Structure 1
Amino acid sequence: MSNQKTNKIIVIGGGYGGLRTVEKLAKNPNNEITLFDKNPYHFMQTDVYDLIANEEDFAQVTVDLFTYCMGFDSNVVFYKQEVTNIDFKNKKIITQIQRYTYDYLVIAVGSRTKFMPSIPGLREYAYGIKALHRAMYFKQKFEMSLFNKVDESGTVCTPINIIIAGAGLSGVEIAAQMASFSREFYRRNNFICRKLNIVLINSGKTILKGMDKHLVKKSQERLLDLEIVIKHERKVVQLSSNSVKLSGGEELHMDFMIFAGGVEPNGLVYDLNLVKNEDGYIVTNDSFQVPQYNEVFAIGDCTTIYNNGERVSPTADVAEQMADICAKNIRNLILDKHLLKHNIKSRGTLIALGRGYAVSKLFGLYFNGYIAHIVKKIVEKVYAKRLDYRSNRGCKKIFNC
């Protein structure tokens, strides 16, 4: 039996970065790891477009965190508790139930949709899709609207008007998936009423700001092929229950609006006495430590990282790369070794643009159409299988089967 000191490690947040950190640190039996999240599940946000368009149900885009953590060799535990604050000086996290002591801490709480208070009606009438419950609620409303259009076939058949604000990756993928799903839905079932109007509001001159120009071009061509209207250099300035007012005075009728036009760190970050940048994200060094406390790390969407002066886009791939380095640096701290500095770059871009179609750039090579779609599905399935293996192992331990 080892006489080495037990390392108490707390990870806050069961997202991509948090789970990867747990997985890596759990390999050392002397690490006693506790994962905290207010939700009992991990939500695979990269699959949200499939959830909304009925290609997957909520069980396929979530992993139970209790069984996942039970799938390790007794040195990982999960608590469904919301962390409300952190006492960094005394190395304690504070939940609504009690306090827990740590030797090392990883903050991986992610981000949330930013409903700007400067836009009247935004929070009341728009849907975000970063949280599972919001995505599920919109999915149900969307399906009900499709049914209502079928139900009124042969009479009035008014169109469903969907506004998507934000032409980044999330907005573009959701617009394309909804348009292709509804097109297939109406045609496959030979319904007369087929009217679905999707308008994508983009504040910039092109969609997918900052991404590879070839991917942008192919994505825009696909959106136009799906008859999605793109309004460039426009911003949402006001919402009511059935209309959206844009900068310049234009007003659009809408049945639903998805807001994908901005994110901010999750609520806990605002309450922490840490150095933050002008957008409210936790500031870290190149090893992902916060400036004031060597034993505290921040990874994923709650922090901002740069490579050669350029901001690295926050993706699931980047969060997992951050987690790998973070886990190695905690190990190096324990062993009193030099810490690694990151040089993180995106390993590839995969953009889902409706059923059976995607565009991608992997290792400098471009793919589009069905081949890119298959590649994206393989990447998603490999990730899900890895989590499912651990969760199935934990489930067998719990139920002794």
Structure 2
Amino acid sequence: MKKVIIIGASYAGLYAAKELSKNKNIEILLFDKNDYHYMQVEAYGFVATKYDTSEVTISINNFVQKLNSNITFYKKEIHSFDSKTNTITTIEKKTFNYDYLIIATGSLTNFPIQVPNIQKYSTGIKTLQRATQVNKMYLDILEKINMSSSDIEEYNIVIGGAGLSGVEIAAEMSTVFKNKNISKINISIVDGMNTVLPNMNERLVSECQKRLKELGIQIYLGSFIKDVDEKNIYLANDTQIKYDYFIFTGGIKAITIDSQKDYEVNKLNQYITDDYLHLKGEDNIFVVGDVAEVTYNNKYFAPTAQLAISAGHYVASYIQKEINNSQYNIMDTFKPKLKGTLISLGGNYAIGLLFNKYFAKGFFIHMLKHFVTKLHRNALS
């Protein structure tokens, strides 16, 4: 029986485990330092109190119990791996051997090193612990409002990053305040790029910017953050933004693992992979999800849950075919097939690009996004 070790209960890791578990001739060992999977794509609703913790987490133990008995979950953090001995080592220095290794460790918020104070004064949302801090801040504001007969004094929430997470959080928070007729809570978005949703379809960008303005969100674009102190954010164009709470969503930094060899990584700390998602230079080690650099036809694909799920399925199929000696059914290279983009912009309003071609907006897209999320939850619960 071949043994496959998966490091990381991310979207990619869990979907790979589920696919591999269908083959009873494969032993699967799944490792993660947490006993839950955090659905970070739903962070916008969690931090704005739309969802509670149970709605953005999935129990890994429950996930494993519903699969075949050939999978074992270890709540352990992995310290290193060794491709020469085909072993991984936990932080407690316990060693496990593998025939195949899948690295699916995900990513954390990428605080820019050129702004040394940004991590000190801001909060990310890439982990449940960090998102819970934002959730608590938001609940505290709402409680103060409910306890007072009049509006609370002016409060400024600034979100660094106008990508998916940034615009979704800003829109959801603003919608709640707008529905409560709260006028002195100011929400702003800051991004060094010249547009919201950088590098996305022009129709999504235009509609997103229109929606944010309708919600009264102040948008600062085209100038990067150069410094932060406990009350102000300073932009490179000398704009100064006052804040009471600073949420930073501006990019990711992949979580790599110590190893006996130095492996090539890109500027986001993502492992470089080949066309089959092998770790470069290794035949039995695969990298999937946020921790992998995925390119196709010389185009880089930004990390998304959709891409991670697709990669998890692909790698699991590749391993099974190789184990089964399917010499006449060799896997094609990994071809990212994205079905589109769905973006929640507060309340029951969302925008989307279906099959990367058809633009749509409104309640229907909101319901479609909710349906897709429910499908993934059911698949992992």
State the Cα deviation string for residues 137-160 of structure 1 (Å, max 9, x = none): 111012112323454554x83211
Please name the residue that 2:193 is paired with: 204
The change in CA–CA distance for 1:279 and 1:49 in structure 2 (over 3 A counts) is closer
Q: CA–CA distance in 2 between the matches of 1:272 and 1:209? A: 35
Q: 1:347 aligns with which of 339, 343, 354?
A: 339
**TM-score normalised over the length of structure 1:** 0.90
Q: 1:245 aligns with which of 234, 241, 264?
A: 234
Q: Is the 8 A contact 1:113 1:263 kept in 2?
A: yes
TM-aligned CA deviation for residue 267 of structure 1:
4.8
Q: CA–CA distance in 2 between the matches of 1:153 and 1:229? A: 27
Please name the residue that 2:59 is paired with: 64
The change in CA–CA distance for 1:153 and 1:215 in structure 2 (over 3 A counts) is same
Q: 2:168 aligns with which of 173, 179, 182?
A: 173
Q: Is residue 17 from structure 1 mapped to residue 6 from structure 2 by the alignment? A: no
Q: Is the 8 A contact 1:120 1:237 kept in 2?
A: no
State the Cα deviation string for residues 192-213 of structure 1 (Å, max 9, x = none): x531111111211111111111
State the Cα deviation string for residues 20-69 of structure 1 (Å, max 9, x = none): 00010000001100110111100111111111111110111101111211
State the Cα deviation string for residues 347-385 of structure 1 (Å, max 9, x = none): 110000000000011122221011110111111111112
Please name the residue that 1:125 is paired with: 121
Q: Is residue 376 from structure 1 mapped to residue 369 from structure 2 by the alignment? A: yes
Q: 1:288 aligns with which of 253, 277, 288?
A: 277
Please name the residue that 1:399 is paired with: none
Q: CA–CA distance in 2 between the matches of 1:264 and 1:150? A: 38
Q: Is the 8 A contact 1:149 1:158 kept in 2?
A: no
TM-aligned CA deviation for residue 279 of structure 1:
3.6
Please name the residue that 1:100 is paired with: 96
Q: Which amino acid aligns with 2:340?
A: G
Q: Which amino acid aligns with 1:345?
A: K
Q: Is the 8 A contact 2:83 2:260 kept in 1?
A: no
Please name the residue that 1:396 is paired with: none
Q: CA–CA distance in 2 between the matches of 1:245 and 1:380? A: 37
Q: CA–CA distance in 2 between the matches of 1:342 and 1:241? A: 46
Please name the residue that 1:3 is paired with: none
Q: Is the 8 A contact 1:25 1:327 kept in 2?
A: yes
State the Cα deviation string for residues 149-173 of structure 1 (Å, max 9, x = none): 454554x832110111111111111
Q: 1:299 aligns with which of 283, 288, 297?
A: 288
Range 329-338 or range 247-256, more displaced:
329-338
Q: CA–CA distance in 2 between the matches of 1:279 and 1:252? A: 27
Q: Is the 8 A contact 1:111 1:301 kept in 2?
A: yes
User: Any residues of structure 2 matched to 1:2-401 within 5 Å, and which?
Assistant: 6-97=1-92, 98-151=94-147, 153-154=149-150, 157-184=152-179, 186-187=180-181, 194-268=183-257, 273-336=262-325, 337=327, 338-363=330-355, 364-388=357-381
User: Identity rate of aligned residues, in percent?
Assistant: 33
Q: Is the 8 A contact 1:349 1:361 kept in 2?
A: yes
State the Cα deviation string for residues 68-97 of structure 1 (Å, max 9, x = none): 112112111110100011111100001023
SS of structure 2 residue aligned to 1:293: coil
Q: CA–CA distance in 2 between the matches of 1:235 and 1:141? A: 25
Q: Which amino acid aligns with 2:96?
A: Y
SS of structure 2 residue aligned to 1:109: coil
TM-aligned CA deviation for residue 270 of structure 1:
8.6
Unaligned runs of 5+ in 1: 1-5, 188-192, 389-401
SS of structure 1 residue aligned to 2:195: coil
The change in CA–CA distance for 1:271 and 1:378 in structure 2 (over 3 A counts) is farther
Q: Is the 8 A contact 1:312 1:345 kept in 2?
A: no
SS of structure 1 residue aligned to 2:130: helix
SS of structure 1 residue aligned to 2:317: helix
Q: Is the 8 A contact 2:87 2:97 kept in 1?
A: yes
SS of structure 1 residue aligned to 2:73: strand
Unaligned runs of 5+ in 2: none
TM-aligned CA deviation for residue 271 of structure 1:
8.5
State the Cα deviation string for residues 267-314 of structure 1 (Å, max 9, x = none): 536986322234421011111111222000001110111122211121
Aligned length: 376
Q: Which amino acid aligns with 2:102?
A: V
Q: Which amino acid aligns with 1:54?
A: T
Q: CA–CA distance in 1 between the matches of 2:140 and 2:160? A: 22
Q: Is the 8 A contact 1:236 1:246 kept in 2?
A: yes
Q: CA–CA distance in 2 between the matches of 1:279 and 1:134? A: 20
Q: Is the 8 A contact 2:87 2:96 kept in 1?
A: yes
